[in-house]
């Protein structure tokens, strides 16, 4: 099934990368990094981007473990942009508290809050919160069930294995929006796509390698599961999150992005058993079929439209920008180009 295409939402996802190499203490660097991040969110709002997401990690190089706090600070400096997690690691959270945090964000932002919930791509949260990694899917499924129950009901009756039961428990505050938007963030597991479809939740796909068109069978599974469950096809939105960077010249964009990207992903690769990053493989990923959207505004816009066509139509695209050691000024420049040039080109093309 191909979805009817309308304007695509264009956004930025950030992991609140900590700048650690300028001679200051870790805390001083962290404070400056958060200040710069808030400036970037404000800039994204001013150039007309639709959404800004903050991830959730428990590592020294990222400052996003309390993403709702960062988003609430951003709410006071923005007017229109939607503010979301990217993602909330629901397995490590109490769904009651997670809902309360984002319902409060919705009130602070006058109805601009969303959540993208998922299991996360790192495992540090499991030992940190005393969770059994072998039960990661059961924990997530149960907590998602509770979160949706809270979203849909002010008074909750619920019981499960991993959290004390709730009996006629009223949960406040409630968001300004009638129903707080909750997206399901997924990688490449078919069961996750089917689960999102059965629940009628919009889907955010993280594609950080390989070829985007290979996710089409999984997107079809999602849409088929949603239709079988009786959900309106318009409710079954698909979003795409991929590594990206925009400069005025395509070769310049690749040359700027590669050194920091290679350093970061070589480090992660050592933890996970991946082969070292090479420029050849990077150039494949930035080519016509690769997942990365790196280049000049026209090239990037054309590639995002191709990704949308390959997946049968997407409703949202989010750039993951700050995992390549880029400077604040470089990030501000690329956000400006995405808002002023890439987004209009995409929606003109659609």
| Spatial separation of the C-alpha atoms in residues 285 and 207, rounded to whole Å | 11
What's the half-sphere exposure (Cβ side, CA atoms, 13 Å) at 230? 0
Would you give the distance in Å from CA 144 to the centre of its chain?
Answer: 17
Element (H, E) at 94: none
Helix axes 26-46, 67-75, angle to 10 degrees: 50
Tokens of 62: 């990222």
Nearest-5° Cα angle at 129, 128 to 134? 95
φ and ψ at residue 112, rounded to 5 degrees: -115, 10
**pLDDT tens track, the chain, 350 positions:** 444 456 899 999 999 998 876 778 989 999 999 999 999 999 999 999 999 999 999 999 899 999 999 999 999 999 999 999 999 999 999 999 999 999 999 999 999 999 999 988 788 898 999 999 889 899 999 999 999 999 999 999 999 999 999 999 999 999 999 999 999 999 989 999 999 999 999 999 999 888 999 999 999 999 999 999 999 999 999 999 999 999 999 999 999 999 999 998 888 888 888 888 899 999 999 998 899 999 999 999 999 999 999 999 999 999 999 888 899 999 999 999 999 999 999 999 87
Strands 113-118 and 88-89: what pairing?
A: parallel
DSSP-based three-state secondary structure for 304:
helix
DSSP 8-class letter at 13: E
pTM of structure: 0.95
In the CATH scheme, what is the code of domain 9-349? 3.20.20.30
> Cα separation of 303 and 66, whole Å?
33
- For the stretch 343-346, contacts whose Cβ atoms lie closer than 8 Å and that sit 24 or more positions apart, written own/partner, are 343/10, 343/48, 343/49, 343/50, 345/297, 345/298, 345/301, 345/302, 346/8, 346/10, 346/301, 346/304, 346/305, 346/317
């Amino acid at each position: 099934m191909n979805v009817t295409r309308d304007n695509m939402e264009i956004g930025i996802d950030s992991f609140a990368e900590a700048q650690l190499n300028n001679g200051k203490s870790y805390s001083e660097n962290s404070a400056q990094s958060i200040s710069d991040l808030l400036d970037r969110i404000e800039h994204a709002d001013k150039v007309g981007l639709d959404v800004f997401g903050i991830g959730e990690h428990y590592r020294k190089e990222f400052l996003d473990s309390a993403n709702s706090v960062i988003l609430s600070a951003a709410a006071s400096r923005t007017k229109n942009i939607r503010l979301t997690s990217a993602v909330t690691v629901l397995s490590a959270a109490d769904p009651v508290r997670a809902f309360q945090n984002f319902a409060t964000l919705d009130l602070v932002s006058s109805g601009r809050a969303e959540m993208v919930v998922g299991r996360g791509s790192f495992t540090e949260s499991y030992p940190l919160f005393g969770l059994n990694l072998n039960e990661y899917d059961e924990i997530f499924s149960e907590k998602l069930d509770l979160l949706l129950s809270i979203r849909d009901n002010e008074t909750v009756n619920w019981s499960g294995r991993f959290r004390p039961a709730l009996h006629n428990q009223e949960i406040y505050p409630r968001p300004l929006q009638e129903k707080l938007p909750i997206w399901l963030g997924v990688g490449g597991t078919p069961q996750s796509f089917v689960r999102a479809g059965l629940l009628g939740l919009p889907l955010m796909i993280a594609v950080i390698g390989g070829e985007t068109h290979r996710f089409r069978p999984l997107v079809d599974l999602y849409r088929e599961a949603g239709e079988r469950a009786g959900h309106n096809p318009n409710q079954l939105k698909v979003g795409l999150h991929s590594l990206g960077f925009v400069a005025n010249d395509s070769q310049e964009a690749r040359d700027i992005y590669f050194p920091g990207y290679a350093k970061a992903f070589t480090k992660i690769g050592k933890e996970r058993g991946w082969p070292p990053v090479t420029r050849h493989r990077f150039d494949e990923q930035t080519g016509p079929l690769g997942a990365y959207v790196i280049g000049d505004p026209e090239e990037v816009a054309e590639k995002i439209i191709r990704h949308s066509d390959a997946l049968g139509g997407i409703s949202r695209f989010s750039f993951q920008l700050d995992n390549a050691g880029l400077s604040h000024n470089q990030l501000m420049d690329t956000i400006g180009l995405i808002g002023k040039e890439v987004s209009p080109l995409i929606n003109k093309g659609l």
